[in-house]
Amino acid sequence: MEQFIAHRGWSGIAPENTLSAIKLALEEPRIAGIEIDVHLTKDGVPVVIHDSLVDRTTDGSGEVRGITAEELGKLDAGSWFDPAFAGEKVPTLEEVLALVASKKPLLIELKQAAGMYSALEERVIQLIHKFDAVKDCQLISFDHHSLLACKELAPEIARIAVFAGAPLCIIEGVNRIEAKAVSLSHQYIQEEIVESLRQNGTGLIAWTVDDQKSAERVWKIEEKIAITTNHPEHLWK
């Protein structure tokens, strides 16, 4: 059975990384999990937004890390997508964890970059524990040093290593992080990588797949590969 992970919530039909997009993903039984992105505000609050700048998805400007949570909460994060979502806010991770409430797995991408956020891992882990959501959350990142820090801080929370491009020595990196799975851009998924991960007992997620042709290519290699998508409705069978 196909496993669909809603990318930034169901971002094809609602503004990405908002409570509306997450609610829609929670309500759809064919969506197996939800992926979100987390940055830290100026005052150290984990917030759910993809870019390091607020410019693209809100009516504000500037870096997330230069804005307080209160200031961020006053921005409109919905109108850029559709006027029907005017007034939608950038949610805090705390709000998202309260909404999801263990209904579905939550993949939390740490938008760390060479130590840009000194306390990102700690703050996110604290909230996961606060909501007793260890079994329901997975920490993912392109920054593998961030995942190593998570391993030291909270080995009980599953980790997923995200790779850009076609990685070499993938198994060595996965095992050092003790990653439950690898998340790889769908274009780079080949039989050799799939087989090496299978032998290692490591799961695989393909991102970001929005068309049936790409999905079929991935599933032809391995039908159990989970797919992260903005448009799961384009991939139903």
Looking from the CA of 29 toward its CB, the CA atoms found within 13 Å total: 1
- Asked about 144 being catalytic, the answer comes back as no
DSSP 114-175: TTSSTTHHHHHHHHHHHTT-TTTEEEEES-HHHHHHHHHH-TTSEEEEEESSS-SSHHHHHH
H-only helix segments in 3-136: 19-27, 69-72, 93-100, 120-130
Contact indicator for 8, 34 with CB cutoff of 8 Å: no
| Sole residue written with tokens 């009980």 | 156
CA distance 185 to 118: 28
Catalytic residue among 39, 50, 144, 186: 50
What DSSP character marks residue 78? S
Q: Is 50 one of the annotated active-site residues of the chain?
A: yes
Is residue 21 within 8 A of residue 8, CB to CB? The reply is: yes
Residues 6+ apart with CB under 8 A from 1: none
DSSP 42: T
7, 39, 144, 186: the active-site residue:
7
Known catalytic residues are 7, 50
